[in-house]
């Protein structure tokens, strides 16, 4: 069973413009860890790769930005399934955090990629 990634919301401005130092080195991590697929690559005006999974797309770009200050909020249909898929084990209570965003409570966990980008994977708690 796999989680459905429903929404990607950038921490700053643009989920299709996430800064990385080297696109070619970053892409394999996202393909393996998140099961994202490359849908397009560009070399100009900046080196970029657009990746997708289910209903989301993100872009990794060599744009000179600071990856440690950027990332995305990913909304999934089942946060426990997403945790197991991304970490290879079932999550325990200590692995999850609860966040309230715009009045909605989310059960979440975080993944920091080797490139420094941080992702909050979450499911709304209704």
* CATH code: domain of residue 54: 3.10.180.10
Quickly state the pLDDT bin for 1 (edges 50, 70, 90).
confident
pLDDT recorded at residue 118: 97
- pLDDT for 126 beyond 90: no
What does the pLDDT read at residue 104? 95
Interval 21-48 mean pLDDT? 96
Q: What is the pLDDT of residue 99?
A: 93
Q: How confident is the model at residue 28, as a pLDDT?
A: 98
Domain count for the chain, please give it. Answer: 1
User: Quick check: 112 pLDDT over 90?
Assistant: yes
Using alpha carbons only, give the angle 50, 82, 33 rounded to the nearest 5 degrees. 45
Mean pLDDT of 33-49: 96
Rg (CA), the chain: 14
Q: Which of 8, 3, 52, 63 is nearest to 27 (CA)?
A: 52
Summarize the confidence of residues 16-26 as an average pLDDT.
Answer: 97
Asked if 35 and 102 touch (Cβ cutoff 8 Å), the reply is no
Share of the chain above pLDDT 90, in %: 94
pLDDT of residue 73: 96
pLDDT recorded at residue 115: 95
The parent domain of residue 32 ranges over: 5-124
* Predicted local confidence at residue 46, as pLDDT: 93
| DSSP H helices in the chain | 23-33, 79-87
């Amino acid at each position: 069973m796999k989680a459905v990634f429903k929404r990607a919301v950038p921490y700053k401005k643009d989920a299709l413009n996430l800064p990385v130092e080297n696109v070619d080195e970053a892409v394999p991590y996202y393909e393996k860890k998140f099961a994202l697929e490359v849908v397009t690559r560009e070399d100009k005006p900046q080196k970029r790769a657009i990746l997708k999974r289910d209903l989301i797309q993100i872009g990794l770009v060599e744009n000179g930005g600071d990856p440690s200050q950027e990332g995305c909020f990913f909304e999934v249909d089942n946060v426990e399934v997403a945790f197991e898929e991304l970490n290879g084990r079932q999550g325990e209570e200590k692995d999850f955090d609860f966040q309230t965003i715009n009045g909605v409570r989310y059960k979440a966990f975080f993944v920091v990629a080797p490139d420094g980008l941080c992702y909050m994977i979450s499911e709304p708690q209704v």
